[in-house]
Amino acid sequence: MIPVNPPPEPPDFDEKARQPGNAWLTKNPDPKKGVKDYWSPFKSQLADGFNNLCGYSAMYEPVLCCKKTAATKLKSRFLA
């Protein structure tokens, strides 16, 4: 396994993603239709910080910019 160090958190991540995401999860503890996506605006910064390596499996994972579709809708409440 190769070492992967997490990048620094973007300065506005807490304000724009963590806080609203946690508030949404508090109001929707068991969502049935997916979750509200607050972290996607930070995907490019995350990819740059990890040098396009997946932080979970350390595989190359290029970030592609695309329109959201039903197929890309998040299904896990832990990714809000």
User: For the segment 33-48, what is each residue's pLDDT rounded down to a tens digit?
Assistant: 788 889 899 988 988 8
Asked if residue 6 belongs to a domain, the reply is: no
The boundaries of the domain holding residue 46 are: 13-79
0.85 exceeded by pTM: no
Tokens read off for 47: 């990819």
Domain annotation covers residue 65:
yes
- In sequence order, what are the beta bridge partners of 60? 53
Q: Which two tokens stand for residue 67?
A: 């329109």
Q: Does 1 map to a domain?
A: no
By C-alpha distance, which of 50, 59, 52 is closest to 1?
A: 59
56 in a structural domain? yes
In a domain, 50, yes or no: yes
Domains of the chain: total: 1
Give pLDDT tens digits for 69-80. Answer: 444 454 555 554
